């Protein structure tokens, strides 16, 4: 089973259906062809799997999902950027 974490669309690649997303694993170029409907994608939150944006969500939904996944992994979530805080700042966790 795969778990897709929410990521934020941080750049649109000109004249393609590709975007750059950033999330807990860093930055990645993916295709937005499945959700490209003419709406503005920059700054939106998305679920990505196998190199494709599968769905879009608002920040509240992204924050909720990331908090749940972070808690399951023993991390605190940094509210500023919604990424897990480094282990030394959370006082624990046994993330490998």
In a domain, 95, yes or no: no
| Sites in the chain below the pLDDT cut of 70 | 1-2, 38, 75-96
66-96 as b/e: b if 16+ CB within 10 A? beebbeeeebbbeeeebbbbeeeebeebeee
In a domain, 96, yes or no: no
User: Residue 57: which CATH number?
Assistant: 2.30.30.140
> Rounded CA gap, 40 and 75, in Å?
32
Question: Does 45 reside within a domain?
Answer: yes
Is 9 within the bounds of a domain? yes
Structural domain includes residue 66: yes
Strand partners, 26: 23
pLDDT digits (tens, 9 = 90+) for 50-73: 999 999 999 999 988 888 887 877
Domain with 41 in it: 1-88
Query: What is the count of structural domains for the chain?
Result: 1
């Amino acid at each position: 089973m795969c778990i897709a974490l929410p990521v934020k669309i941080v750049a649109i690649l000109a004249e393609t259906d590709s975007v750059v997303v950033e999330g807990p694993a860093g930055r990645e170029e993916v295709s937005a062809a499945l959700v490209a409907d003419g709406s503005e994608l920059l700054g939106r939150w998305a679920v990505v799997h196998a190199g494709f944006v599968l769905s879009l969500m608002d920040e509240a939904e992204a924050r909720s999902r990331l908090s749940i996944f972070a808690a399951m992994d023993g991390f605190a979530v940094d509210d500023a950027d919604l990424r897990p805080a480094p282990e030394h700042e959370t006082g624990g966790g046994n993330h490998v």
